[in-house]
């Protein structure tokens, strides 16, 4: 499907989409979806009326006339929707996604799946029973440059992967000026779960969608926050995962870094894959051999927030037209691993009972009950 200025006239072939949650990320998704040919924004829902009004105005710029709702169940009951896009706070995902799937409505929901093992399992059970699409918003799976780089790794000619390294470093805490849920450890799941789950998904993808065996981690809070520290998510962390074959992933998140050090931007991502006498920089799309010049396998990814976003929404709409015949690139099984990896890492540095940082080893079996 093409992306561009759409006709104001709806057609019988349009895929009718409803939105649940139109805050920061929800508005980005709505803006992108409103430009997809054959996608009709039919309804928007949010508990905050000003967000509903803003979303309706945003959709109207591309000729859509969505109805506004405060209750998503009422929206699903009244509107003949082909699919919904869920972008609520992560800690509210299950309470929305499960009823949507049980109603048999195709569902695209933002990452992570949710913030606790119990709620992730509830979604898994509903999705496996449902006869409709459940696609998860890990947009790097739909970024053609990541696809090219991953294809080269999985082709096997480079050799075995034996080490993984990544980081996401920020000049301010991730989401510091965005939606308020970012600053609530329970509602967001913490920074590793809410944001860095993207990188967990990529590294599991490198490992051909395997899950890690065990994890250890440490974290801290260094910023000046008004809330009690028990309510605030970690702003510095280091975690290490061991995959089958003794492949180790070393990962860090840091905040309050200087913008100069970050290349002048708000953040810096690194995703490195190491093999014997070779290494691949997934963000730059380059593979290095010995002392020679790097070989370009894909274009560099700089706009992490948008690149792949339109493509994943196009894929969702096209799959609805096919009656859900295609297995989404980001599906219940890949999304489950990425989300549980992040939760596993959080459990390795945070005691969930007293909400204090404590270092321990966590086994995969402790988070995977599905």
Nearest to 347 by CA among 192, 149, 125: 192
The answer for residues whose C-beta is within 8 angstroms of residue 70's C-beta and 6 or more apart is 45, 46, 47, 49, 52
DSSP string, 185-250: HHHH--HHHHTTHHHHHHHHHHTTTPPPSEEEEEEE--S--SS-GGGSPPSEEEEEEEETTTEEEE
Q: Classify 143-302+337-366 by CATH class.
A: alpha beta
The full set of domain ranges for the chain reads 15-140+309-330, 143-302+337-366
For residue 72, the SS3 value is: helix
Measured CA to CA, the distance from residue 125 to residue 309 in angstroms comes to 26
pTM over 0.85: yes
**Rounded to 5°, angle at Cα 336 from 338 and 97:** 120
The answer for residues whose C-beta is within 8 angstroms of residue 362's C-beta and 6 or more apart is 214, 215, 216, 344, 345, 347, 348
In this structure, the strands spanning 106-109 and 83-86 are parallel
Measured CA to CA, the distance from residue 331 to residue 334 in angstroms comes to 6
Rg of the chain, C-alpha, whole Å: 20
Nearest to 194 by CA among 170, 215, 212: 170
| 231 and 184 Cβ atoms separated by less than 8 Å | yes
Measured CA to CA, the distance from residue 87 to residue 316 in angstroms comes to 15
> Mind listing the pLDDT tens digit for each residue in 124-133?
999 999 999 9
| 168 and 304 Cβ atoms separated by less than 8 Å | no
Measured CA to CA, the distance from residue 200 to residue 205 in angstroms comes to 9
Measured CA to CA, the distance from residue 156 to residue 162 in angstroms comes to 13
Measured CA to CA, the distance from residue 217 to residue 348 in angstroms comes to 5
Nearest to 172 by CA among 243, 78, 255: 255
Q: Classify 15-140+309-330 by CATH class.
A: alpha beta
| 106 and 83 Cβ atoms separated by less than 8 Å | yes
> Mind listing the pLDDT tens digit for each residue in 217-260?
999 999 888 777 888 899 999 999 999 999 999 999 999 999 88
In this structure, the strands spanning 106-109 and 134-136 are parallel
CA-to-CA dists, residue 232 to 172, 225, 237, 245, angstroms: 14, 8, 14, 36
The tens-digit pLDDT sequence of the chain (370 residues) is 433 334 444 566 899 999 999 999 999 999 999 999 999 999 999 999 999 999 999 999 999 999 999 999 999 999 999 999 999 999 999 999 999 999 999 999 999 999 999 999 999 999 999 999 999 999 999 999 999 999 999 999 999 999 999 999 998 876 555 556 778 888 999 999 999 999 999 999 999 999 999 999 999 999 888 777 888 899 999 999 999 999 999 999 999 999 888 878 888 999 999 999 999 999 999 999 987 789 999 998 776 667 899 999 999 999 999 999 999 999 999 999 999 999 999 999 999 899 899 999 999 999 996 6
């Amino acid at each position: 499907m093409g992306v561009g200025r759409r006709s104001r006239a709806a057609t019988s072939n349009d895929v009718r989409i409803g939105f649940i949650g139109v805050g920061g990320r929800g508005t980005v998704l709505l803006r992108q979806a409103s430009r997809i040919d054959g996608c009709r924004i039919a309804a928007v829902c949010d508990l905050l009326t000003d967000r509903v009004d803003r979303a309706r105005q945003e959709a109207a710029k591309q000729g859509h006339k969505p109805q506004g709702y405060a209750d998503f169940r009422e929206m699903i009951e009244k509107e003949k929707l082909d699919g919904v896009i869920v972008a609520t706070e992560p800690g509210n995902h299950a309470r929305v996604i499960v009823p949507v799937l049980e109603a048999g409505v195709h569902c695209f929901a933002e990452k992570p799946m949710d913030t606790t093992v119990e709620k992730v399992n509830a979604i898994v059970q509903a999705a496996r029973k449902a006869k409709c699409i459940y696609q998860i918003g890990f947009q790097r799976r739909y970024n053609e440059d990541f696809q090219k780089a991953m294809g080269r790794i999985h082709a096997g000619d480079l050799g075995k992967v034996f080490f993984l390294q990544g980081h996401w470093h920020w000049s301010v805490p991730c989401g510091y000026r965005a939606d308020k849920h970012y600053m609530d450890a329970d509602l967001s799941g913490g920074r590793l779960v809410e944001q860095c789950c993207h990188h967990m998904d990529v590294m599991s993808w490198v490992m051909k969608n395997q899950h890690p065996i065990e994890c250890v981690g440490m974290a801290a809070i260094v910023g000046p926050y008004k809330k009690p520290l028990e309510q605030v998510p970690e702003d510095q962390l280091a975690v290490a995962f061991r995959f089958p074959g003794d492949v180790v992933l070393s990962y860090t998140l840091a905040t309050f870094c200087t913008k100069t050090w970050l290349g002048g931007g708000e953040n810096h991502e690194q995703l490195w894959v190491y093999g014997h006498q070779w290494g691949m920089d997934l963000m730059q799309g380059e593979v290095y051999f010995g002392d020679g010049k790097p070989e370009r396998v894909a274009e560099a990814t700089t706009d992490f927030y948008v690149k792949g976003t339109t493509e994943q929404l196009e894929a969702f709409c096209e799959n609805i037209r096919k009656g859900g015949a295609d297995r989404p690139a980001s599906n219940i099984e890949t999304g489950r691993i990425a989300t549980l990896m992040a939760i596993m890492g959080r459990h390795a540095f945070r005691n969930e009972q007293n909400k204090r940082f404590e270092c321990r080893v966590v086994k995969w079996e402790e988070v995977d009950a599905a």
